Structure 1
Amino acid sequence: MEGPGPVNTQPDLLYSEEEEALRAAVRDLLTDHCDAPGVIARTESGQPHDLALWKALADGMGLAGLLVPEDKGGQGATHREAAVVLEELGRAVAPVPYLTSAVVATEALLAGDADDLLAELASGRRIGVLAVALNVAPGGAHKVVRQENGSLYGELTGIADAAAADVLLVPADDGGLYAVEADAVTVTPQVSLDLTRPLATVTLDGAPARRTGDAEPAVRRALRAGAGLLASEQLGLAEWALTETVRYLKERKQFNRPVGGFQALKHRLARLWLEVVNLRAAARAAADALATGEDTDVMVAVAQAYAAPVAVHAAEEALQLHGGIGMTWEHPVHLYLKRAKADALVHGTAGAHREALAELVDLQAP
């Protein structure tokens, strides 16, 4: 009697029917409620966060709780579904705190024991932000504040979406991670390249705090998930840039023929298409690794080592190949270039992730 055949251990990176249905629902919502002129207007208003859109995503569709188990008040989905949502948010450069609240802050709470606060974030009733600078890589050094008799003292800079937060998760010098109400701190806006994901300085002067768990494992887990799923946001951004550029070059005519017919431009677009396809594979692999817990550190490092250069290249090509119209404030391509440039520093640079990857696979520098 023959034994069982070889087991296929390769991950299935194709999108499932459920994931495609989720994508369609999110894209429809964003088409109706997140148009480019509206996003541009918000960046000029000083209040870039679209809290009505956030409510529709979080409360109406239940997307804020995708990573939270059902017994803790969430949807009990996986990082693969969250990645699909982030792809669509990236395509729209949506000014909502999904990455910061539904992924990073949520993962930090999943490492602790504050189930009541976790349920509030999962329902979308409250927005949470991990008070670690946006540029810190998984496992990287980050600033902490002083804890004294249950109150926190100190200043933290580069905190993304702090202006929209209801609660901040703050690492302290005693090794704990503390939940602090946003109205107990001072949030001062910082100059940000990407106006759709604003940064701020958070000042704590005796802010009452509640310990939610140990900071080190919570921050590491949160930043790893943030870095891995950021690649899906960068994928959505790059896909928009490629798709819109191809569409524009088919319509734009020069010398009485479509600009897209010129061979030099075809070569540039073909190269970009290959980069985007490879980015999709890397982003999907990172999301699947986060969902299954297999080779997670390696897959996240691979995705982030590759994602930022591709997203930036896609946005730069979109700007250049749109010609003069791409240089105008009214055209949305500048939103994508700024997001791509800013994302290149989020949760570690591509170079930092390449160094981490080399160490993970025992590849020593010459």
Structure 2
Amino acid sequence: MDLGLTEDQLALRATIRSALSRGHREIDLGLSIPDTHGGQGGGLAEVAIALGELRLTPNPLLNSTLAAQAILATGNPEAQARLLPRIAGGEPATLAWTDHKGHWTTPACTYDGTLTGTAHYVLDGDLTLVLAQTATGPALFLPRTCSRVDTNALDPTRPLGTLHCANTPADHLGPVDLDQLRDQACVLLAYEQAEIAADALVRTVDYAKSRVQFGRPIGSFQAIKHRLADLHLTVETARSAAAAALHALADPTELPRYAALAKVHCSEALSTVAGEMIQLHGGIAITWEHDAHLFFKRAHGSSHLFGTPAQHLDRLAGLLDLTSSRSAATR
């Protein structure tokens, strides 16, 4: 399913698939970093495509891309020249952002000459940047000392940690539009979720074709066919939502609605498909030897990352109300 991918993007997808099939797991962290700073000069669409191919493969692409986008958003040429080449050169980066309740609309840390606060759900990375609230709004900081402590994340393929700041000296890099950064994060994650769901469905269909009960493959039973057909519809609509959000990255006025919609639907789609994957595989799916538990854990973890579906559904309702009000005012 291509959904408007360009020839270059299709070629990128084919290259990544080929590399993964040969056992290569390294990914270029500079995909979305301008070539003037050592990156590939691509966009977030290219990153989304890479994430969709990597799926459950542990990698620092998502967190490093968001860190790079935050640096670019500051408009600080000195910070960009100093930090972006490090990420493009392969140094994983991450953002310390939200509180223990997962409220991604407000930074967990504050800055008043020094950084104070504890950020939770910090993705893995060597170069840690902190989003903090200042008197003039959210801004990006590079702490001079910090310590990320790993937490017991449910999903072993995506480690999380906490970052505690107590009067921590830090370099002020510049202001950041937190809402836009969160929407970008949601789009990237939604695309990944949709492709993971598609992978889970393919594996489940293949199993249904080969698992024999009562002398017949279970996939030949009418009830199983109906369940798989419903899952196919779920996956394809999730892919459509993710693709629409990807195209909306170019339109800041449309991005909030499409990002929220994609985050809600793709989160629910992956949770649904992962749950059905376990049900339809039967007993083998609840063993550590089978990958079904990894799909289920990624579904749960990514559902909460950058805001839960319930949070984004509330936001989407508000955005739609606002759009309706504006339309009525122009009549």
TM-score, normalising length: structure 2: 0.88
SS of 1:330's equivalent in the other structure is coil
Structure 2 residue aligned with 1:210? 171
Q: CA deviation at 1:333?
A: 1.1
Give, as a single letter, the amino acid of the residue that structure 2 aligns with 1:158.
Y
Structure 2 residue aligned with 1:109? 71
How far, CA to CA, are the matches of 1:339 and 1:116 in structure 2?
A: 35
Q: CA deviation at 1:199?
A: 1.6
Note if contact 1:128-1:167 (Cα within 8 Å) is conserved in structure 2: yes
Q: CA deviation at 1:118?
A: 4.4
SS of 1:167's equivalent in the other structure is strand
- Cα 1:111/1:315, change in 2 over 3 Å: same
Structure 2 residue aligned with 1:302? 261
How far, CA to CA, are the matches of 2:14 and 2:255 in structure 1?
A: 28
Note if contact 2:183-2:260 (Cα within 8 Å) is conserved in structure 1: no
How far, CA to CA, are the matches of 2:117 and 2:170 in structure 1?
A: 13
How far, CA to CA, are the matches of 1:344 and 1:155 in structure 2?
A: 22
Unaligned runs of 5+ in 2: 325-331
Tell me which of 5, 10, 16 is aligned to 1:20: 10
1:84 equivalenced with 2:43 (yes/no)? no
Give, as a single letter, the amino acid of the residue that structure 1 aligns with 2:172.
R
Tell me which of 184, 201, 213 is aligned to 2:162: 201
Note if contact 1:80-1:291 (Cα within 8 Å) is conserved in structure 2: no
1:342 equivalenced with 2:301 (yes/no)? yes
How far, CA to CA, are the matches of 1:32 and 1:86 in structure 2?
A: 17
Root-mean-square deviation over aligned CA pairs: 2.2
TM-score, normalising length: structure 1: 0.80
Structure 1 residue aligned with 2:91? 126
Give, as a single letter, the amino acid of the residue that structure 2 aligns with 1:253.
V
Note if contact 1:185-1:205 (Cα within 8 Å) is conserved in structure 2: no
How far, CA to CA, are the matches of 2:251 and 2:133 in structure 1?
A: 31
Structure 2 residue aligned with 1:75? 40
Structure 1 residue aligned with 2:275? 316
Identity, in percent, stands at: 36
- Cα 1:127/1:301, change in 2 over 3 Å: same
Q: CA deviation at 1:166?
A: 2.2
SS of 1:212's equivalent in the other structure is strand
- Cα 1:336/1:195, change in 2 over 3 Å: same
SS of 2:306's equivalent in the other structure is coil
Q: CA deviation at 1:355?
A: 1.5
Q: How does 1:1-366 map to 2 (within 5 A)?
A: 13-33=3-23, 53=25, 56-58=26-28, 64-90=29-55, 93-102=56-65, 104-112=66-74, 113=76, 114-133=79-98, 136=102, 140-148=105-113, 151-161=114-124, 164-174=125-135, 175=137, 176-180=139-143, 184-215=145-176, 217=177, 219-293=178-252, 295-362=254-321
SS of 1:111's equivalent in the other structure is helix
Give, as a single letter, the amino acid of the residue that structure 1 aligns with 2:242.
A
SS of 1:14's equivalent in the other structure is coil
Q: CA deviation at 1:133?
A: 2.6
Higher relative contact order (CA 8 A, sep 6+): 1
Alignment coverage as a number of residue pairs: 316
Give, as a single letter, the amino acid of the residue that structure 2 aligns with 1:159.
V
Q: CA deviation at 1:80?
A: 1.9
Note if contact 2:27-2:61 (Cα within 8 Å) is conserved in structure 1: no
How far, CA to CA, are the matches of 1:154 and 1:294 in structure 2?
A: 32
How far, CA to CA, are the matches of 2:208 and 2:112 in structure 1?
A: 57
Q: CA deviation at 1:95?
A: 1.0
